[in-house]
Chains A and B, each alone.
Chain A
């Protein structure tokens, strides 16, 4: 399976600021996925990032709030913009490796907005 490195692992941010989360994969993948996991809850897909095209956002998530970059087949960033305490969550990067069929996850970014 793919090895995913996600940075930062955690951060405490002031409301109104933005945080960019990086996701690096050790192999080339077509699609990268960004999830949010609110405290004590399951995973919710934010968007799917394809290299060379605009990210596809799920209902309830918009590009202005969660801009995504996908400059190549091994890297993506998710920015959480104009943060509020409600954005406090774990943000997870995920890929489906080329030889696999199920999502593999990074260790996540634990974000606290104060």
Chain B
């Protein structure tokens, strides 16, 4: 969904289900893409990254997909847990690491 005003788009999932968080990026020349997780009262923390020459990368319970044709990035979280509740930001890095642009963020809420 779109970010509207002060309200982050929210994704609610049942515990144990898979989550998919989407992000549209702006610069087709960006070199890296990163997903950050921000828990309440903390700064953003790195989750996973992907280079622009890849279309998929897997980590522990997380997978990032990159579709350069439509400038779209997604984060998939398998078997979502209560500890996954947070705000998730995508970021694109370009110009040899000199430019960082953050997406609007999505709030993930895990339901018991």
> How many angstroms between the C-alpha atoms of A104 and B93 in the bound complex?
13
Residue of B whose beta carbon sits closest to that of A38: B6
C-alpha spacing A1/B44, complex, angstroms: 13
A-chain residues with CB within 8 Å of residue B6 when the two chains form the complex: 38-41
A103 to chain B, nearest CB (A): 6
Of all chain B residues, the one with the shortest Cβ separation from A48 is B98
Q: Does A42 contact B105, Cβ atoms closer than 8 Å?
A: yes
Question: Majority SS of interface residues in chain A?
Answer: loop
Chain B: interface residue total (CB-CB under 8 A)? 23
Contact B104 A42 (CB under 8 A): yes
Size category, A interface: 20 to 34
In the complex the two chains form, what is the Cα distance from A40 to B49 in whole Å?
A: 24
Assuming A40-B6, A101-B97, A102-B32, is B103 touching A107 (CB within 8 A)? no
Residue from A4, A38, A45, A101 in contact with B93 in the complex, judged by beta carbons closer than 8 Å: A101
Is residue A105 contacting chain B, with contact meaning CB distance below 8 A?
yes
In the assembled complex, the Cα of A53 lies from the Cα of B102 at a distance in Å of 26
A94 to B34, CA, bound (A): 15
**In the assembled complex, B11 has its CB within 8 A of some CB on chain A:** no
Q: Is the CB of A42 within 8 A of B97?
A: no
A-B contact pairs, 18 of them (CB 8 A): A1-B46, A33-B100, A38-B6, A39-B6, A40-B6, A40-B8, A41-B104, A41-B105, A42-B104, A94-B43, A101-B32, A102-B46, A102-B49, A103-B91, A105-B36, A106-B43, A108-B41, A108-B42
If A39-B6, A43-B44 are given as contacts, then 17 extra A-B residue pairs at C-beta distance below 8 Å, sorted by A number, are: A33-B100, A38-B6, A40-B7, A40-B8, A41-B3, A41-B104, A41-B105, A42-B89, A42-B102, A42-B104, A42-B105, A43-B89, A101-B32, A102-B91, A102-B93, A108-B42, A108-B43
